[in-house]
Amino acid sequence: MIDALYIGATGMQAQQLNVDVVANNLANVNTSGFKKSRVTFQDAYYQVLNPSANLTEGGASAVMLGMGAMVSSNSKSFTQGELKATESPLDFAIQGNGFFEVLMPDGTSAYTRFGALKVNENGVLSTAKGYELKEQIEVPSDVIEVVVDAKGKVSGRLADKSTLIELGQIELTSFASLEGLLPMGDNLYQASDASGEKTTGIPTENGLGSVAQGYLEASNVKLAEEMVNLVLAQRAYELNAKVIQASDDMLSISNNLRR
């Protein structure tokens, strides 16, 4: 009965994290470029109740008692989100597995699917937070419109509205294991050993995907799916709480026994 208390507690802790993850998914349902998280579980350690059992062939089998559940992983799902038209020439969505590579203040690289760009004070294409694209694409002040094709070629339209000048080339980056990327907040991810080999190239090549100008990728959170997950997590939490309550009732009965 004492073991049941601890086993029920592990289940409640695991489901609490599950509810927290679902809550974060729902909170970001309208966050462009957001990728939902999913929790997976595994059974915890096992205790041998009859350690003196002869485990050799023909002997008695060991009686094993599971010690509850634990979280196996909390990983991101990088399924494609729906593309939303914005009509802004500096909004870009990626159709495929690629990421925009941006430069952080400390000189390291980060990766994002959030393609709401702007021209910063230095005249360079950057994210809404001011992180410049690794390609360092400069937009001259006499350019009235930026034009980007599906392959990431960046051109600028001059004031006469007929002349296009080439400004640079947007490249995309992907990894062998997207689930190994580390979320940093601000729709940014950081490479890790688990993300594996990095691939960088021109959009539409090597499975990196294409660039769609005037669109943003919506969150890949599905409301109906998350609500179902929330109900399941709540019921699982409730059942584990009942296990603890039942164990406590049994202990109370034992303590109240009279000769």
107 and 203: one domain? Answer: yes
90 and 202: one domain? Answer: yes
53 and 88: one domain? Answer: no
43 and 66: one domain? Answer: yes
What's the pLDDT at 2? 81
210 and 91: one domain? Answer: yes
Structural domain count, the chain: 2
Q: Name the residue with tokens 């939490």.
A: 237
15 and 113: one domain? Answer: no
Tens digits of residue pLDDT in 14-41: 999 999 999 999 999 999 999 999 999 9
11 and 57: one domain? Answer: yes
Cβ proximity of 159 and 142 under 8 Å: yes
168 and 229: one domain? Answer: no
Q: What are phi and psi of 230, to 5 degrees?
A: -65, -45
Tens digits of residue pLDDT in 123-164: 999 999 999 999 999 999 888 899 999 999 999 998 877 778
CA–CA gap between residue 122 and residue 105 (Å, rounded): 14
Half-sphere exposure of 161 (CA within 13 A, CB side): 0
Tens digits of residue pLDDT in 174-214: 999 999 999 999 999 999 999 999 999 999 988 899 999 99
Tens digits of residue pLDDT in 53-101: 655 555 557 788 888 999 998 999 999 999 999 989 999 999 999 999 9
Q: In the chain, which ranges are E strands?
A: 37-43, 46-48, 64-66, 69-76, 83-85, 92-95, 100-103, 109-112, 117-119, 125-127, 143-148, 153-158, 164-169, 172-175, 182-185, 188-190, 198-201, 210-213, 215-217
204 and 106: one domain? Answer: yes
What's the pLDDT at 57? 54
114 and 180: one domain? Answer: yes
Q: What are phi and psi of 98, to 5 degrees?
A: -80, 170
Domain coverage including residue 24: 2-76+221-255
Cβ proximity of 216 and 94 under 8 Å: no
55 and 166: one domain? Answer: no
98 and 71: one domain? Answer: no
Backbone angle region of 13, left / alpha / beta, with phi > 0 → left and psi within -120 to 50 → alpha:
alpha
CA–CA gap between residue 247 and residue 7 (Å, rounded): 11
